A and B are shown apart, each in its own frame.
Chain A
Amino acid sequence: MSDTDLSVPFRQRAGSALGDKHLQEALTIATTKFIGLRREAFGEFPEGERLRDMAREIKEATLQHLDRYVDQLIDSVERLGGHVHYATTPEEARRVVLDIAARTGARLAVKSKSMASEEIHLNEALEAAGVIPIETDLGEYIIQLAHERPSHIIAPAIHKTKGQVADLFAKELGRQVAADPEELTRIARVELRQKFLDADLGITGANFAVADSGTVVLVTNEGNGRMVTSLPRVHVAVMGVEKVVPSMTDLMVFLQILAKSATGQKLSVYTTLVRGPRRAGELEGPDEFHLVLLDNGRIRQIAGPLREALYCLRCGACLNVCPVYRQIGGHAYGYTYPGPIGILLTAMLEGPGSVKDLAHASSLCGACADACPVRIDIPRMLVELRREVDEARIASWTERLAYRLMETILASPTLYRWSKPLARLLQRPFARDGRIRSVPLAFGEWTRTRDLPAVARQTFQERWPELQNPTATPGSSTATGEPCDRSRLAPESGHPRPKPDSRHPLQ
């Protein structure tokens, strides 16, 4: 599978997405539809707001004692006859899965949608080891055939048209099919049904894992999660360590809001609760069950600045409402997890250096925090990330220089007073109608996509004496541009930010 080319700068990746007419159209249709469905679902569900608060609390409380709950989960799974593995890094996680595949002589693996396995790039590793991995979620199957990566957490192939899918099936499966979703789905059903029946290994993620009963919970609409956990002789679930919830009662709180946030369904079609391998008396189910607990940068965030990102349910709601995601789509972000939460998760997994550009791919409008079922304050963490990137001197020198200058000037009343006439002088060649449309040298990057308001002929501070004397004629300058029409970019953006409903003691 080909990665988005990270050697191409983010600006350029975003630029080419913006130039892709078809992508723009697909993104608008999909995200607008998801927003409507979500709003409708919560509109019919008055308890929703209270449950969102509860869900957030449960995540917080679970992280508080994560050691205890993980310990309990391990005990429960082992009591059921399952095996638990621990992976600090993606390499380690891949090794664990490859060892299981080798030991059990697996040749064919069927996978249900799993972001965690995308994150560790499992497919490439399996292929290299001679095990054929088949993605069975229809969207994932399509992008696997196309050698691409998912562009949305819950709708991986929204960037593809039915015509493109039909061409792809013709090329890869050797079948001429009409460009009709119904027909294409039928073909995929037939193709994949045989794979389910033939596969040796079933690989899944986990939406949740319930500590006290060792239950791995999979939420799907297609039924592939059930197939993958019932038909192959070995089941491996790869899961981020933060997915643990204490009890079934807690689980039900999340189930009540997850599907509503993702697709507007009251519940996804299949919620599958798996407790270990096939039990005595059962005809079907795997002989072996393995749970791989993945760290990959998560554990150090329990007490880190990105802690809240560990609450994420991967519902995709924040992507749909994000004015940046709506314009550039998932691929331009360049990593496994796109969208606003994706920036934070990328920083968590790959380190802050990886998001020095992405940290700015947000208008900080707060729509994501509004939509998030567990009310993750994504904008707050993005701002902190920007600061971290700046302090770690990862940010570009122009950006750092600009901020240093601002800091010095704003800290000194004398400098500040003198800065204004100086700025007015310097801006003269560039300012037109109260705006600066481009600035010279490396600073030009900043004005490439936006205007800078010019320093006013008379600033507020300079007007202050005359304002105190109301009879004098007021000065005539306001130097701000007109507000941008946010509703065009994203119908959900521009709402007042929700009050943070809990303190953030880690700040």
Chain B
Amino acid sequence: MTTRAEFLSRIRTEVGKTSGLFPAGTAQRPSDPRAVTETIKRELAERWPHALERFQLEFERVAGVFHRAASLVAVPQVVAGIARERAVRRLVAWHARELGGDLLDSLAARGLEPFAMPPGDLDSAAERAELRRRVADAELGLTGVDLAIAETGTLVLRSGAGRPRSTSLLPACHIAVFDRTALIESLGQAGVFLELWNRGAHEDGVGAVTSFITGPSRTADIELTLTRGVHGPKEVHAIFVDQVIRG
């Protein structure tokens, strides 16, 4: 079996042969990504209505469904509306800490069967398997959002404790709740956040996966006919909350 040393030394030998021949550079990285993200947020504190407009436009272009709610308290009503139209009830949601509030009672009062994810890992494989069955059976998945990118209508979700990957993946309908603090304008800006998130030691509770979600799952593999919901959700809804969730 090839070892690391052998493998690298072979690369080094080849690289040595072209040394200095290609005068090219990589992209300029932000030296202090935290400062840059703070500037982005500060600027967007004023510009956000424009970014939101663009987000809605692009999100709808990729077949997302956009909603607006005055505050987090008004979200269950929107969710219940979506559920009623589709005649479904079973909902799984990120843990209240990750959503920014406990919506379970309010959802249940509106006829849904909501179930919240645990705040962290479970003790046994059996419990995990049981939970997975429940998520796989659910028709609706309710999550928060870390970034909403206006340029592309993209929702960025980081996995972690209380915010499992499957909530936005297994149910046929994904509903994401966000406010203006998550809004950014471009993929370039998203890159700065990625630089920040992936720098240094791991923060507690942060998971291994960051997902960029741009509309519902789709395929065109059969005669180029666009079909939605091949593996991931058939529908993606974004509920914009006017009052900052963690205000």
Contacts and interface: CB of A to CB of B under 8 A. Distances in A.
B11 interface: yes
Nearest to A273: B210
Interface string B132-168: 1000100000000000000111100001111011100
Contact of A272 (B209, B216, B229): B209
B214 A285 contact: no
B139 to A, nearest CB: 14
Interface residues of B, number: 85
A268 B230 CA distance: 14
B118 interface: yes
Contact of A282 (B30, B164, B233): B164
Nearest to A157: B221
Contacts of A475: none
* Shortest beta-carbon contacts, A-B, top 3: A223-B232, A281-B161, A252-B191
Given A74-B4, A160-B222, A299-B14, A283 B231 contact: no
B27 A189 contact: no
A224 B170 CA distance: 11
Interface stretch (A79-87, A389-397, A410-418, A453-461): A79-87
B2 A87 contact: yes
A92 B217 CA distance: 35
Contacts of A14: none
A317 B119 CA distance: 45
A277 B159 CA distance: 12
A348 B214 CA distance: 35
Nearest to B25: A61
A268 B2 CA distance: 35
Given A29-B224, A57-B25, A302-B15, 18 more contacts: A26-B223, A61-B25, A86-B6, A88-B7, A155-B221, A157-B222, A181-B225, A247-B26, A249-B28, A249-B30, A249-B192, A251-B194, A252-B191, A271-B211, A274-B208, A282-B161, A284-B132, A295-B10
A283 B232 contact: no
Contacts of A61: 22, 24-26
Contact of A185 (B122, B215, B219, B224): B219
Contacts of B11: 66-67, 70, 241, 299, 302
Given A92-B2, A162-B222, A252-B187, A266 B165 contact: no
Contacts of A278: 207-208
A279 interface: yes
Contact of A142 (B28, B151, B153, B222): B222
A33 B224 contact: yes
Interface of B: 1-4, 6-8, 10-12, 14-15, 17-19, 21-22, 24-30, 58, 62, 117-118, 120-122, 128, 131-132, 136, 151-154, 159-162, 164-166, 169, 187-188, 190-192, 194-195, 198-199, 202, 204-225, 227, 229-233
Identify which of A80, A156, A157, A266 gathers the most chain B CB atoms within 10 Å of its CB: A266
Nearest to B120: A281
Nearest to B223: A162
Interface string A242-284: 0000111111110110000001011111111111111111111
B136 A267 contact: no
Nearest to B196: A248
A447 interface: no
Given A223-B232, A226-B165, A267-B187, A64 B15 contact: yes
Given A60-B22, A266-B152, A268-B214, A139 B221 contact: yes
A273 B195 CA distance: 13
Contacts of B165: 226, 230, 284-285
Identify which of B11, B18, B122 gathers the most chain A CB atoms within 10 Å of its CB: B11
A227 interface: yes
A393 B153 CA distance: 55
A192 interface: yes
Nearest to A302: B14
Nearest to B2: A86
A293 B7 contact: yes
A136 B8 contact: no
Given A58-B26, A269-B218, A505-B18, A281 B212 contact: no
Contacts of A271: 211-212, 214
Contact of B231 (A193, A250, A267): A193
A300 interface: yes
Contacts of B231: 136, 189, 192-193, 196, 222-224, 226-227
A327 interface: no
Identify which of B162, B164, B190, B207 gathers the most chain A CB atoms within 10 Å of its CB: B207
A181 B121 contact: no
A247 B29 contact: yes
Identify which of B17, B120, B166, B199 gathers the most chain A CB atoms within 10 Å of its CB: B166
Nearest to B191: A252
A283 B121 contact: yes
Nearest to A163: B223
Given A247-B26, A270-B213, A185 B1 contact: no
Nearest to B161: A281
B214 A249 contact: no
A312 interface: no
Contacts of B225: 162, 181-182
Contacts of A377: none
A66 B15 contact: yes
A246 B26 contact: yes
Nearest to B202: A279
Contacts of A502: 22, 24
Nearest to A81: B208
Contacts of B224: 29-30, 33, 155, 158
A157 to B, nearest CB: 6
A282 B161 CA distance: 5
B217 A221 contact: yes
B234 to A, nearest CB: 9
A161 B206 CA distance: 45
